[in-house]
Amino acid sequence: MNKIKILLVDDHKLVRQGIKYTLESGSLASKISQINEAENGNEAIELVKIINFDLIFMDINMPEKDGIAATKEIVRTDKFTKIIALSMFNEDFEIRSMIKAGAVGYLLKNTGTEILDEAITKVLKGGKYYSNDVALKLMEPYNEANLDKEKIKRSTISKNESILSKRELEVLGLIAAELTNDEISKKLNLSKRTIDSHRQNILNKLQVKNTAGLIKYAFKVGLI
């Protein structure tokens, strides 16, 4: 990794000093060539025009020009500088707005040295980095979508379980276990003709054409 040029953008001097101290205390300290500071988005934009920063830690809520607007402008004019949002909050709107603006990472301001170093290393290699709290926030819509799918799946299962008799469900399970009709008849102590009848009834009720389709359908809706 080449020497790293970093810009800290935050309207609170104490915050900038704290982050700077954390960076200078980390394992990447020897690889950082300079750390500049800006109080707002406008200052950051002006500094980017004269210095080729590798990485910018960008606060979100700042006077004059906030982090979201500044990130959009910097990303539009500089395709190489990586921007990591740095905030006190993990609000969904702010997270998604910064990512949409072009930030490749999002950390909370109470992040420790190890996480900062890990984030820097990853984003400078072309990756993205989000703190655990932020990652969980980003996953919420996905989890909700999966929950909705699960509800639909359970509804489908319930519907099909009401269509199939208890014996048919039992036969279906054995079909999925790849037992032949002869093996199923012996296991359930029923005639092969009865098993043949159950198999055909299951095919008809689930509206599939053959045994392969039956098994595929059964697994898909979670019947087995």
Provide the residue ranges of all domains of the chain, joining segments of one domain with +.
Answer: 4-136, 146-221
Q: Token pair for residue 33? A: 């060539």
Instruction: Match domain 4-136 to its CATH number in 3.40.50.2300, 1.10.238.10, 1.10.630.10, 3.10.20.30.
Output: 3.40.50.2300
Q: What is the mean pLDDT of residues 189-197?
A: 90
Please say if the pLDDT value at position 167 is more than 80: yes
Fold of 146-221: Arc Repressor Mutant, subunit A (1.10.10)
- Mean of pLDDT over the chain: 82
Would you state the pLDDT for residue 49?
94
pLDDT-above-70 percentage for the chain: 82
Q: What's the pTM?
A: 0.62
Strands 129-130 and 105-108: parallel
